[in-house]
Structure 1
Amino acid sequence: MDNILEVKDIGKTFQVRSLLGRVKGGVSAVDRVSFSLGAQGTLGIVGESGCGKSTLARLLMRLIEPDAGEVNYRGRNVLDLSGASLKEVRRQLQMVFQNPYSSIDPKMSVLNNVAFSLWANGVSRQQARKTAYEYLDAVGLSRTHADRMPGSLSGGQRQRVAIARALVLKPEIVIADEAVSALDKSVQAQVLNLFQDLKKEFALSLIFISHDLHVVEYMSDEVMVMYLGRVVEKGPTERIFNHPAHPYTRALLASAPSLEVDRAAGSGAPALSGDLPSPLNPPSGCRFRTRCPMATERCAMETPELTAVGPGHQAACLLLKESLTA
């Protein structure tokens, strides 16, 4: 599978200022994150709230400017582009946001919400509305919904509008940031199946961000696990869920509710406990060490790097590296 998106060592630190405006520290929201996305593949990004998932998504879209790194789309570094060149690439990378109640304009009709992106890119209003009808139909909304205002729609219907708006520019990559977390479980299933169908119909590549492990497992070909801004494990979905290597991944899986009592991925692993440390003052060395039952003194002194633990499978754990080299 050819990679269409290559992200290299991207990072972002937000300055924290006092009431007098003095810089008193920084929050390392995303720290040297690297990954690739294949054509028509789906990368799932998972982790607790505050791990940097949403910040990473906004960095990829340049809604936030990164401090370092590269975002290469088909060989072009998006971070070096501006003006018409950036606008051209942005058409190929679209985003579906978490909250369907705030991500679409409540003062515009459903049809105009979807057509607006086309107008902004020079398409005539007549043609834009015609195309918008087609994409509303593709996401399962009828023409009777098109003239309604967003306030009259359910959460699932609003998210379908947001998906249609993302697709109307015919992007190659869609970033879904917690796109089903605000929906009821029954509606979640409908929207997830819709994503799967649209991925095939429009030959899409997806970056699917969620804190729900079951959703990530269902949607993804590959999974990347983040903790306090860093990648702690990544690899094929089957390996991540059946042979998790990092203590954090194993703890997440053990903490996730499941009807499978003897599920191998979580068996024997302690459930996740304790609170996420403050990103203002993250632990030295391995950032997970304050919650890791296997942590040693070395974990406080050295920062682990991603190490190969299987085909396409990497994890960042000093103890794991020791066992592999022993």
Structure 2
Amino acid sequence: MTIAAAVNDNVASISNYLLYSAMAVYTLAFLAHIAEWTFGSRSRVGRTAAALSATPATTTTAPAVRVARRGGGTAVLERPKVVTRDVSADRGVGDGDGAAGKSERGELYGRIAISLTTLAWLLHLGAVTARGISVGRAPWGNLYEFSVTLALVAITLYLGLLALRKNVRWAGLFLVTTVLLSLGLAVNNLYAADDQLVPALHSYWLWIHVSCAIICGGAFHVGAIATVLYLFRDRYEAALADGRDGGRFASMLSRLPAAATLDKFSYRINAAIFPLWTFTIIAGSIWAESAWGRYWGWDPTETWSFITWVAYACYLHARATVGWKGRKAAYLALIAFGCFLFNYYCVNIFIVGKHSYAGL
């Protein structure tokens, strides 16, 4: 058990100012992303032609086979034509041009948005670091600190994928928007003054268990954004395939990656982070035994963490064994993320349990 350090209110105030500054810069990044999508738009004719540039079904003919006849000569056997049809998740449609489209102004605003997001991330990182210094412990000891750090992880994942030259700029507007909403809720409704934890929670497991939960939450956040965008893009592609107009947001949807790309991205994010979520629950059980004398007590937070695990396990199992892709899998993924959000907000705020976040 570690000894609680004195709280440094001056450093805590610096943390608050850095977070407010980060939110202001995130807002500027949000406006730059709006400009990127606005000036990157294309005409209806152009986006329809691009979306239908690839055919959803292709016909291939296998080469003829020559067979030797008995008594001399050969006979030519024509193999039947093979028709391949794409499933709903993959219509053979290529990815869109991205948020900036082919517009130079859109590209300029996109670069500005990324630069502002990076600056906001630095301020955000400074706020979380200063909070940790002010209390002398891991800066995620209450729901306010947890929310602020989770938003930081989501942005870190996004910028990390960009640094690896992954095509994820399409997520910028939607991620910055949700991060701003999360930070606004944390500052206005979840804020807790810098303080020490109860003695039972002064443990190195705070660094292990809760940090893993935060990383998982940030990844689930990004995966859920991709899943929601997939559902919109899939409906847009289905409308075009039926000869209908793409709808009110066709200009934006035409520049997103193909539905199959978004579906695959969401699956990879959720599949990659699921083992860590499993470890998070196991680590929490070990910490619970050390702090409360039992590994599992069906505390509300424990229960909903397990329900979230089951929901994501069902999603991954359905894709791996049943072969579910597309909208069915997307609905399962959103149900799983909904369980995570319910545990994150509703259980921690409104249902009192042993976990320190409850009873706000």
Q: TM-score, normalised by structure 1?
A: 0.22
Which has the higher Rg, Structure 1 or Structure 2? 2
Which has the larger helix fraction?
A: 2
Q: TM-score, normalised by structure 2?
A: 0.20
